[in-house]
């Protein structure tokens, strides 16, 4: 695997933070703010821990709060992940 | 100036029934919800029976974001809250947010959630402990989640006095109403049926080791051998009487009296505090024992503790002087949920004029000179009930609830 995709992110987001009522997680959320999707800082910290465990990329806590949308997270990770 | 404090909504999620109507029908039928533990494999443990809330699916009752953040005990509390608000026909959005308070009882906290995270810590390391452990385990989690979900920003708190907690929380709710809160969500739930939770409970030495579901928890019986643990409880909507009247609410009854005491150190040989708690509750209600129509007993199910409770009751009411019942024999002891559930059931007794039974007793212990309502519900005019509760570690609480004056 050499790219972190929206499908990876949705799977981790779902497992880390559940899904808010009235929200459907699909590729259309890529530019939605996490807060608009119902996720708080704990959910994003939980997701970043799962990303590190699975993909080996550590996201410092101060960066977690700067990544506001799925696209920003995906781009951040793909900049840092070495192709396998 | 406050008038009285009334209960206007009952939310019951307990072994045997989901919702007040279903649970009430269950206890009146005198059946048992105690059975083998199914939430995990109990075979390595000396206690293998419990009262479980069967058929409860958190995803059907609790928002998806909250399910992953909270323990089963909070799931049950949130579900019970929805039932209580619906029963009270109270829409939180219509009440000023700072006039709504939340005070629940908790006894174990989020042990099942905590066990999962402890296992992750030990097996895989600290970076594998979930972020939600920080908010899921601790005693105020249910109060906090109720407060957040329903926008209740008045005084919030949690009381941890084991099985006495349901009454102590109700008393705090009454104080808040007297101090100006428009409504308070109170009561409690518990859910500690996981290996870690059960192991912690076993340390008290009070759990039954019987494998016979119908005889495992038989308080006041000559062969009483401990109690069966359970999960669930009740959340109650409590309101200022005048405000409840003004919105046309129906009241189940009034929280008329409360007393709490702490036991003297065991080695002093002094009398335990339960009798004084009951007398304080009667005095607070401004009534004598003759006005009590039924006593809901704490009913631990161990001979010495049963004898002490019977002695407290007979000291006030005389031998066989008042009907006594322990419907918790059908569901197990629910810890923080137990006394709140007893209050709910006492209010239903008042409404319908019937005392639910204590089940499983074959031969009543001779030293327990109680008019125990056994096996079958007993029709009776019930306008005032006394609820007793003892929490492990020395807590005693008593509450008097009376028929609504409306």
**Averaged pLDDT for residues A5-33:** 92
Of all residues in chain B, the one with the smallest CA distance to A17 is B65
Would B251 be classed as within a structural domain? no
Both B172 and B238 in one domain: the answer is yes
Of all residues in chain B, the one with the smallest CA distance to A21 is B63
pLDDT at B2: 47
Q: Does A70 touch chain B (CB under 8 A)?
A: no
What is the SS3 assignment for B9?
strand
Would B22 be classed as within a structural domain? yes
Q: How many domains does chain B have?
A: 2
Both B323 and B396 in one domain: the answer is yes
Reading the block at residue A27, the tokens are 């590729």
The string of pLDDT tens digits covering residues B129-183 is 999 999 999 999 999 999 999 999 999 999 999 999 999 999 999 999 999 999 9
Is residue B86 very low, low, confident or very high in pLDDT (cuts 50, 70, 90)? Answer: very high
Would B252 be classed as within a structural domain? no
pLDDT at A83: 60
Both B225 and B285 in one domain: the answer is no
Of B200, B224, B246, the last residue of a domain is B246
Both B197 and B292 in one domain: the answer is no
pLDDT at B406 over 80: no
Find out whether B82 and B142 touch, Cβ atoms under 8 Å: no
Mean pLDDT taken over chain B: 97
Both B106 and B83 in one domain: the answer is yes
Both B120 and B182 in one domain: the answer is yes
pLDDT at B338 over 50: yes
Both B296 and B351 in one domain: the answer is yes
Contacts of B116 in chain A (CB under 8 A): none
pLDDT at B127: 86
Structural domains of chain A ordered from first start: 6-18+27-80 (1.10.1200.10)
Contacts of A43 in chain B (CB under 8 A): 65, 131
Which residue bears the tokens 């999707």? A37
The string of pLDDT tens digits covering residues B199-251 is 999 999 999 999 999 999 999 999 999 999 999 999 999 999 999 999 999 99
Interface probe, candidates B60, B68, B141, chain A, greatest A C-beta count within 10 A: B68
pLDDT at B313: 98
- Return the DSSP state at B211: -
pLDDT at A1 over 70: no
pLDDT at B228: 98
Both B284 and B242 in one domain: the answer is no
Would B154 be classed as within a structural domain? yes
Both B73 and B213 in one domain: the answer is yes
**Averaged pLDDT for residues B64-91:** 97
CA distances to A68, B97, B177, B388 from B238, rounded to whole Å, are: 41, 15, 8, 19
Q: Does A39 touch chain B (CB under 8 A)?
A: yes
> What CATH number is given to the structural domain containing B354?
3.40.47.10
Both B163 and B280 in one domain: the answer is no
Both B161 and B302 in one domain: the answer is no
The string of pLDDT tens digits covering residues B349-396 is 999 999 999 999 999 999 999 999 999 999 999 999 999 999 999 999
How deeply is B138 buried, as exposed, middle or buried, from its count of CB atoms within 10 A (0-12, 13-18, 19+)? Answer: middle
Cβ contact (<8 Å) for A53 and B128? yes
Alpha-carbon distance of B175 to B281, in angstroms, equals 14
Using CB atoms, which residue from A15, A42, A53 is nearest to B131?
A: A42
Is residue A21 very low, low, confident or very high in pLDDT (cuts 50, 70, 90)? Answer: confident
* Domain, as residue range, for B390: 257-402
């Amino acid at each position: 695997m050499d790219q972190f995709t929206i499908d990876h992110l949705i799977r981790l987001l779902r497992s880390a933070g559940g899904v808010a009522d009235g929200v459907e997680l699909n590729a259309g959320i890529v530019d939605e703010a996490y807060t608009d999707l119902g996720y708080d800082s704990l959910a994003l910290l939980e997701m970043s821990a799962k990303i590190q465990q699975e993909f080996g990329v550590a996201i410092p806590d101060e960066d977690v709060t700067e990544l506001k949308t799925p696209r920003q997270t995906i781009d951040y990770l793909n900049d840092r992940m070495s192709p396998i | 100036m406050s008038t009285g404090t009334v209960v206007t909504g009952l939310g019951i999620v307990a072994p045997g029934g989901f919702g007040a109507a279903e649970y009430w029908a269950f206890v009146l039928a005198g059946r048992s919800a105690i059975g083998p533990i199914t939430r995990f494999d109990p075979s390595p443990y000396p206690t293998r029976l419990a009262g479980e809330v069967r058929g409860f699916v958190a995803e059907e009752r609790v928002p998806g974001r909250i399910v992953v953040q909270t323990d089963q005990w909070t799931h049950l509390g949130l579900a019970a809250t929805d039932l209580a608000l619906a029963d009270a026909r109270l829409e939180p959005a219509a009440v000023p947010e700072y006039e709504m308070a939340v005070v629940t009882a908790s006894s174990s906290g989020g042990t099942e959630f905590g066990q999962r995270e402890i296992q992750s810590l030990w097996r895989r390391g600290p970076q594998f402990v979930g972020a939600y452990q920080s908010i899921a385990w601790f005693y105020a989690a249910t109060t906090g989640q109720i407060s957040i979900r329903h926008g209740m920003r008045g005084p919030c708190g949690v009381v941890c006095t084991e099985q006495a907690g349901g009454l102590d929380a109700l008393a705090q709710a009454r104080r808040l109403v007297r101090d100006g809160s428009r409504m308070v969500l109170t009561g409690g739930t518990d859910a500690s049926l996981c290996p870690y939770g059960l192991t912690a409970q076993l340390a008290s030495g009070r759990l039954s080791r019987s494998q016979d579901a119908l005889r495992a928890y038989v308080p006041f019986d000559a062969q009483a051998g401990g109690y069966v643990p359970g999960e669930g409880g009740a959340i109650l909507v409590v309101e200022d009487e005048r405000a409840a009247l003004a919105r046309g609410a129906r009241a189940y009854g009034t929280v008329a009296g409360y007393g709490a005491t702490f036991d003297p150190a065991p080695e002093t040989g002094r009398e335990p505090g339960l009798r004084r708690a009951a007398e304080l509750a009667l005095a607070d209600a401004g009534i004598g024992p003759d006005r009590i129509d039924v006593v809901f007993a704490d009913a631990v199910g161990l001979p010495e503790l049963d004898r002490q409770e019977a002695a407290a009751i007979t000291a006030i009411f005389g031998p066989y002087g008042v009907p006594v019942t322990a419907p918790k024999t059908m569901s197990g002891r629910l810890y923080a949920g137990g006394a709140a559930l007893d209050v709910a059931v006492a209010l239903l007794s008042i409404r319908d004029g019937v005392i639910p039974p204590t089940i499983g007793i074959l031969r009543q212990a001779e030293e327990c000179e109680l008019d125990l309502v056994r096996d079958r519900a007993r029709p009776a005019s019930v306008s005032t009930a006394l609820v007793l509760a003892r929490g492990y570690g020395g807590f005693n609480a008593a509450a008097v609830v009376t028929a609504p004056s409306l």
